[in-house]
Amino acid sequence: MADLLAALVPWPEDGSRPDGPVAVDATDRLLLDEAAPLLADAGPGDVVVIGDRFGALTLGALTLGPSEVRTSTDTATAEAALQHHVREPLMAAVRGDRREVGVKDFEHLEPGLLDGARLVLLQLPPSLAELTEIAEAIARHAADDVVVLAGGRVKHMTRAMNDVLASSFGDVRATLARQKSRVLVATGVRPEARDAAPTLPARAVLRDAELLTAATPAGGTAPEHVDVVAHGGVFAGTSLDLGTRFLLTTADRWPAADRVRDAVDLGSGSGLLATVLALRYPDARVVGTDRSAAAVASTRATAAANGIGARVVALRGDAGEDLEPASVDLILLNPPFHDRAAVRTDAAHRMFRAAGRALRQGGELWCVFNTALHYRQALTRAVGPTVHIAQNPKFTVTRSRRR
């Protein structure tokens, strides 16, 4: 087991960057140690892993007992890491002298992931809404005697996480901390939670003036409302983010409809910008893309809730890298600023480069960001000439035109 964990890398990196991510953290190790006695007795359909970062929990669990593990990765990046690690020769080491071992990979909380599960290993998500959605899904679909082991870094854990788990499970206790990680153990599915209607995805009806104005097609009438659907953990939930709101105030300067055949909401979250694009440009093809499966499902659901589901294609991908080169006329971007708890801007820079590749000549990237980030030069390098369109005390909106 120690050899196996040592062989994992924080794919797509090789682990050599001193300040880069680690493939296996103290929470993975603690979860696997706590789970070891249960894994030893687990059958093929018993074990589910949720939120694995680079495959440590999934491969570790397989090594310790069951011949099959179901695993759910929200981000495209975590899934790519897992796929990298479930290849030979590592799988030969995991298999040992057993004939068959396998991983069933699910996007987010798809049907079938949790049916009849008896042990769930979970890296605690940063958002309570995401934890709520996961806990409710386990209570609805897992076996009555399911044991949930939910681990995290002590500094990121709050009492509210125990309370969320306690809404679905009768018994929630914490293990002793080790190397600044701790595991919450939840058992005894509450009978009322078994049959309860899921509280997520959340739905809301928005009437913000900026949203309705931006969603109005040239010469058309404004919609009375725009509806939003958000799975747990999706950025800003069902509300309109302040930066996104500021970007929407510039809509009267976005390209005219006759110049927009293909439009993209890059890092689409709940899909509000994709929906605005589809409503504002009724003849355009619109793509919303995000690395998170929960965001992709939300983008799809938000578009459907506004009656334009057929015109918005929602894709899961890392930083827009899979957008066709020179295929897009307009991209809207409110780039990520945090990756879990840490401030990170590398995804934003990768998104700028992807936008530069995806835009047709003369196509435009409209970007909103925290003014302190000074992205203008990076945007000019990645896309083309960039001008400041609007600024308020907090945010800047830029327009970059593809050379």
Ligand X SMILES: C[S@@+](CC[C@H](N)C(=O)[O-])C[C@H]1O[C@@H](n2cnc3c(N)ncnc32)[C@H](O)[C@@H]1O
Residue 356 phi, psi (nearest 5): -60, -40
When binding is defined by CB under 6 A, the residue of 25, 290, 329, 364 that contacts ligand X is 290
Residue 107 phi, psi (nearest 5): -85, 120
Do the beta carbons of residue 141 and residue 68 sit within 8 Å?
Answer: no
Residues 318-357 that bind ligand X (CB under 6 A): 318-319, 334, 336, 347
* Stretch of 26-34, 48-56, 290-298, 306-314 contacting ligand X, by CB under 6 A: 290-298
Do the beta carbons of residue 240 and residue 206 sit within 8 Å?
Answer: yes
When binding is defined by CB under 6 A, the residue of 72, 123, 181, 244 that contacts ligand X is 244
For residue 284, the SS3 value is coil
- Residue 237 engages ligand X in binding (rule: CB under 6 A): no
Closer Cβ to ligand X, 181 or 270, answer by number: 270
Closer Cβ to ligand X, 10 or 267, answer by number: 267
What is the distance, to the nearest Å, from the Cα of residue 149 to the centroid of all Cα atoms in its chain?
21
For residue 202, the SS3 value is strand
- Residue 246 engages ligand X in binding (rule: CB under 6 A): no
Least separation in angstroms between CB 270 and ligand X: 6
- Residue 269 engages ligand X in binding (rule: CB under 6 A): yes
- Residue 302 engages ligand X in binding (rule: CB under 6 A): no
* Stretch of 94-102, 195-203, 248-256, 268-276 contacting ligand X, by CB under 6 A: 268-276
Q: How far is CA 162 from CA 124, 136, 207, 303, 382, in A?
A: 11, 14, 35, 34, 45
When binding is defined by CB under 6 A, the residue of 53, 280, 291, 300 that contacts ligand X is 291
The residue count for binding ligand X (CB under 6 A) is 20
* Stretch of 24-32, 134-142, 173-181, 263-271 contacting ligand X, by CB under 6 A: 263-271
- Residue 235 engages ligand X in binding (rule: CB under 6 A): yes
* Stretch of 190-198, 276-284, 286-294, 301-309 contacting ligand X, by CB under 6 A: 286-294
Least separation in angstroms between CB 67 and ligand X: 33
Q: The tokens of 72 are what?
A: 């759910």
* Stretch of 16-24, 54-62, 156-164, 269-277 contacting ligand X, by CB under 6 A: 269-277
Closer Cβ to ligand X, 67 or 327, answer by number: 327
Question: Which DSSP state fits 253?
Answer: G
- Residue 82 engages ligand X in binding (rule: CB under 6 A): no
- Residue 273 engages ligand X in binding (rule: CB under 6 A): yes
Three state DSSP letters for 6-73: HHCCCCCCCCCCCCCCCCCCHHHHHHHHHHHHHHHCCCCCCEEEECCCCCHHHHHHHHCCCCEEEEEE
Closer Cβ to ligand X, 72 or 268, answer by number: 268
Closer Cβ to ligand X, 168 or 270, answer by number: 270
Q: How far apart are CA 313 and CA 16, in angstroms?
A: 37
User: Where do the H-state alpha helices sit in 169-318?
Assistant: 191-195, 209-214, 242-248, 272-280, 293-305
Least separation in angstroms between CB 163 and ligand X: 25
Q: Cβ of 262: how many Cβ atoms within 10 Å?
A: 21
Closer Cβ to ligand X, 63 or 299, answer by number: 299
Q: How far apart are CA 59 and CA 214, in angstroms?
A: 47
Binding site for ligand X (CB under 6 A): 235-236, 241, 244, 265, 267-270, 272-273, 290-292, 295, 318-319, 334, 336, 347
